Amino acid sequence: MPADRTDTAPGAPTLSDVAARADVSTATVSRALNVPGQVSEATRARVMQAVRDLGYAPNFGARALAAKRTNTFGAVIPTMDNAIFARGLQAFQDRLREDGVTLLVASSSYKPEQEEEQIRTLITRGAEALLLIGHDRTEAAYALLDRQRIPYLVTWAWEAQAPRPGVGFDNRAAMQALAAEVIALGHRHLGLITADPAGNDRARARIEGVRAAMAAAGRDKDALRIEETPYAIAGGAAAFARLMAVRPRPTAVLCGNDVLAAGALTQARADGIAVPGDVSITGFDDIELAAILTPALTTVHVPHREMGRRAAEVLLDMRAGAAAPPGLRLDVGVAWRDSLGPPPRRAFDGSPGA
């Protein structure tokens, strides 16, 4: 048994495997990982490619002894801003603490390469299990998770056909239910403000949900105007202004999350557009902000605390050897407040409203 085998879980790729694949010595792999200045750029690139291909993560022997627990779990979330993930994460952490587990969190800025690197860092630093957001990530990240045999859960998302263990909710169905309510109120021209759906399965599912509701109501898909922007209040405001320049003007603007909706509401107020009198605005997530906006935001209520708590329980079980359970779907529903109403009897541009 090569010496480095003692540093890794049974079956996990070893330093020797990396060396063989990169066609260098194990000493060179070690230098490339630990003192990169001592190897050429080309050698380092070859070694890192092998590390990625094999899903190798050095771990300083921490997980070598099954009994030698680090009692550290990790989470990688897209952003710490805007409290989108904060409440669920707090519940996750609180539940882990009951079992003496400390949570370390990294934030990927919605960048898949950054998430992959952070997953590797958390495993290397001894994380025994990982909470991740959504299904979209690099193939290398999934390969790393599988080969290192780290228990992990996908949260904030649920898909019937998803091949990965998860605790989440059906983003598509939730957005479809809200959009169906909007359409039922008589809105014919809809706007949608969304984050870039590339690499973000939650955003993609929410867009699909709006389209599905329109199709179910027999509406022309051209009656939906979509604006993309980063998740930020300022982005939501600017996107709302662009939608208000469209003719015929949308009488309802659905937003991919509450932060974007907060921006839209702010822009409407600045432009003297009454909500919901002139235009209805909806959100998604039901973060604490939603209820204190003026008007209070109609949105999709996500059970953040329950999701966090149950994810913790499942991951603790998985660490103890339980198999990954089938995906657990939590119920979500519309939180009715003041920002959604019927369309105006006459649209702004003088054309008849719905």
Does 93 interact with a second copy (rule: CB under 8 A)? yes
- Quote helix, strand, coil % in the chain, to nearest 5: 45, 15, 40
Of the candidate spans 87-95, 247-255, 315-323, 343-351, the one that interacts with a second copy by CB under 8 A turns out to be 87-95
Does 48 interact with a second copy (rule: CB under 8 A)? no
Residue 195 Cβ, how far from a second copy at the closest point, in Å?
16
Does 269 interact with a second copy (rule: CB under 8 A)? yes
CA distance 189 to 222: 9
Residue 249 Cβ, how far from a second copy at the closest point, in Å?
23
Backbone angles phi, psi at 228, to 5 degrees: -100, 145
Nearer to a second copy (CB atom), residue 87 or residue 135:
87
Contact 221, 195 (CB under 8 A): no
Contact 229, 193 (CB under 8 A): yes
Of the candidate spans 117-125, 180-188, 209-217, 341-349, the one that interacts with a second copy by CB under 8 A turns out to be 117-125
Does 70 interact with a second copy (rule: CB under 8 A)? yes
Residue 202 Cβ, how far from a second copy at the closest point, in Å?
19
Interface pick for a second copy out of 6, 25, 40, 109 (rule CB under 8 A): 109
Find the angle CA(309)-CA(312)-CA(315) to the nearest 5 degrees. 150
CA distance 24 to 244: 60
Interface pick for a second copy out of 26, 53, 99, 125 (rule CB under 8 A): 125
CA distance 194 to 186: 22
**Residue 62 burial class via C-beta count within 10 angstroms: exposed 0-12, middle 13-18, buried 19 and up:** middle
DSSP 141-197: HHHHHHHHT--EEEES---TT--S-EEE--HHHHHHHHHHHHHHTT--SEEEEE---
Tell me how far CA of residue 61 lies from CA of 70, 119, 165, in angstroms.
Answer: 11, 18, 27
Contact 41, 55 (CB under 8 A): no
Residue 146 Cβ, how far from a second copy at the closest point, in Å?
21
Nearer to a second copy (CB atom), residue 207 or residue 237:
237
Residue 107 Cβ, how far from a second copy at the closest point, in Å?
7
- How many residues line the site for a second copy (CB under 8 A)? 54
By CB under 8 A, what part of segment 24-43 binds a second copy? 34-35
Does 334 interact with a second copy (rule: CB under 8 A)? no
Beta bridge partners of 298: 282
Does 117 interact with a second copy (rule: CB under 8 A)? yes
Binding mask of the shown chain, residues 146 to 185, with x at each position contacting a second copy by CB under 8 A: ----------------------------------------
Backbone angles phi, psi at 303, to 5 degrees: -80, 75
Nearer to a second copy (CB atom), residue 45 or residue 291:
291
Nearer to a second copy (CB atom), residue 75 or residue 213:
75
CA distance 292 to 288: 7
Of the candidate spans 120-128, 171-179, 205-213, 339-347, the one that interacts with a second copy by CB under 8 A turns out to be 120-128
Tell me how far CA of residue 195 lies from CA of 66, 78, 184, 239, 283, in angstroms.
Answer: 42, 12, 25, 11, 13
Binding site for a second copy (CB under 8 A): 34-35, 60-62, 65, 67-72, 74, 79-83, 85-87, 89-90, 93-94, 97, 102-107, 109, 114, 117-118, 121-122, 124-126, 232-233, 262-263, 265-266, 269, 288-289, 291-294
